[in-house]
Amino acid sequence: LAPPHIILRRALIEGRQLPNIARDIGLFMARTLFRGSDLHMPTKDRKADLALFADNVELCGITEDLVFTDPYFDAKLNRHTSPQLDGLVAELRADRDLKVEAQRLKHLFAANAETLLHGDLHSGSIMVTDTETRMIDPEFAFYGPIAFDVGMLLANFWMSFFSQRGHEDKGRRDAMRAYLLGVTNETWAVFRAEFSVLWRSERTGMLYQRSLFEDQGDILAAEQALDHVLHQIWTDLLGFAGIEVHRRILGLAHNADFETIADEDVRASCEAKALKFGRHIAVNRRQIYSIDEVNS
């Protein structure tokens, strides 16, 4: 896209507070993830679509290794801010609970072909102006769990939050930090609200069929099922978000949010806070019930 569109990550590093990104991204994720699933698509069409994307083997393999496995051992292509993070990295790679959780999430990623994903939805694959938000780079698209795209995206906002101290050369960024937490809150709220609208108006697939609920006058049962689905997405997205934070600091593909911090001690301090945060939300995801708990 031509200027004035810029990569969202660059805008956040520069401290720009874009007014529409939470709404635009929340709507995009809810609509694409709902409509690509068995909640909406006719079974025959969805299975044909699933087959169409099934041969994206190499790019899925990159995700399976670089995201879920390599950060947790001394893989050849890994790198991190050293020696400042050496001790913490050793702790994380010896953390039994964390490694088991990472592999449970890898299992979920590989085995749950729930919907068509963007597959690499982060602040570097979104272009923005003050009024427009465009998603780019869909080459990792494949069928996987709904929570994956949502978790990856929110992780990038949280990483931007933790990186802000390293970009305070022109003054404190307290307002930017508050803005980023607000973006995570609003993105999740918009996603939930739009997903719920689609559940009530476009649930035409084979899952949670209306013939079992609304057509029998049992709207409350349909709402109970919706709550269950949204809760599962929430729990899983926290796990995917935590793992995404780790792979962006410990693995091969790093984020410019941290990499552009010239002072290595400051960078390491920002990264250490993010790593501990990632561990917390991944390992404790079943005991975290709201985004306010995460952002408090």
Work out the average pLDDT over 105-133. Answer: 96
Instruction: Answer whether residue 144 shows pLDDT above 70.
Output: yes
Measure the CA–CA gap between 126 and 118, rounded to whole angstroms.
11
The answer to whether residue 108 scores a pLDDT higher than 70 is: yes
pLDDT, the chain, mean:
96
pLDDT surpassing 90 at residue 167: yes
Provide DSSP, 4-55: T-EEHHHHHHTT---SSHHHHHHHHHHHHHHHTSTTTS-HHHHHHHHHHHTT
Residue 12 binned pLDDT confidence (cut-offs 50, 70, 90): very high
One-letter amino acid for residue 252 of the chain: L
Q: What is the pLDDT of residues 245-264, one digit of tens each?
A: 999 999 999 999 999 999 99
Please give the residue that has the higher pLDDT: either 36 or 56.
36
Name the residue among 137, 141, 151 with its Cα closest to residue 117.
Answer: 141
- What φ, ψ does residue 254 adopt, rounded to 5°? -95, 165
Non-local CB neighbours of 42 within 8 Å, separated by 6+ positions: 204, 205
User: What integer is the mean pLDDT of 156-165?
Assistant: 98
Confidence (pLDDT) at 56: 85
Return d(Cα 185, Cα 140) in angstroms, integer: 26
The confidence score (pLDDT) of residue 166 equals 98
Domains of the chain with bracketed CATH? 6-295 (3.90.1200.10)
| Residue 61, token pair as written in the block | 């393999």
CB 33 within 8 A of CB 149: yes
Cis before 42? omega within 30: no
Q: CA angle at residue 34 from 236 to 121, to 5 degrees?
A: 60
- Report the pLDDT averaged over residues 102-121: 96
Which pLDDT score is estimated for 57? 86
Position 154, amino acid: L
Give pLDDT tens digits for 38-88: 999 999 999 999 998 888 888 888 899 999 999 999 999 999 999 999 999
- Confidence category of residue 3, pLDDT binned at 50, 70, 90: confident
Give, for 143, the enclosing helix (H) or strand (E): strand 142-144
Q: pTM for the whole thing?
A: 0.97
CA–CA distance, 152 with 293 (Å, rounded to integer)? 18
DSSP symbol at 164: G
Taking residues 210-230, what's their average pLDDT?
Answer: 98
Alpha carbon distance 278, 280 (integer Å) = 5
Q: Taking the CA atoms of the chain, what radius of gyration do you get in angstroms?
A: 19
Report the pLDDT value the prediction gives residue 1, as an integer from 0 to 100: 67
- The percent of residues in the chain predicted with pLDDT above 90, rounded, is 95
